[in-house]
Amino acid sequence: NRVVLMIMIEKAVAVRDLDAILERAAELGIAMTQWGPVDFSLSYGRPGLAQQPEIREFEEQVIAKSIEYGVAPRVEIAGPEAAGRYVDLGVRHFCVGWDRFIYQAELDRLGQGMREIVARL
């Protein structure tokens, strides 16, 4: 039985103080970091930045620094097609999909199938 401890890097102040945070995390045996682009964008004063290409600069900094300090970065992706870029950056831990999105996609598929059947009546 093993517990995995992970820290979220999701505030502008955390990115600013990233070296100190990761140094301490490594000392404490923290296993992973998790990047939080939406909360970062809000605390950075730029809501919506998470959906812009400029967010990658911050994301890649968190990934690279995490690896540098020996704390594995973990990212959330919608599906396997998004993994390649992160693998190239050195990421080896992923959260693939989220329950609500998986359920929504399946419910959308079922609903669309039924709409097509009903439309032929």
- Sequential DSSP letters for 95-113: EE--HHHHHHHHHHHHHHH
With b meaning 16 or more CB within 10 Å and e meaning fewer, what string describes 36-50? Answer: bbebbbbbbeeeebb
pTM, 2 dp:
0.81
Distance between CA atoms of 25 and 32, rounded to whole angstroms? 9
Residue 96 has pLDDT above 80, yes or no: yes
pLDDT tens digit string along 15-65?
999 999 999 999 999 999 999 999 999 999 999 999 999 999 999 999 999
Q: Looking at residue 1, what is its pLDDT?
A: 67
Q: Looking at residue 99, what is its pLDDT?
A: 76
Q: What domains are there in the chain, each with its CATH number?
A: 6-119 (3.20.20.60)
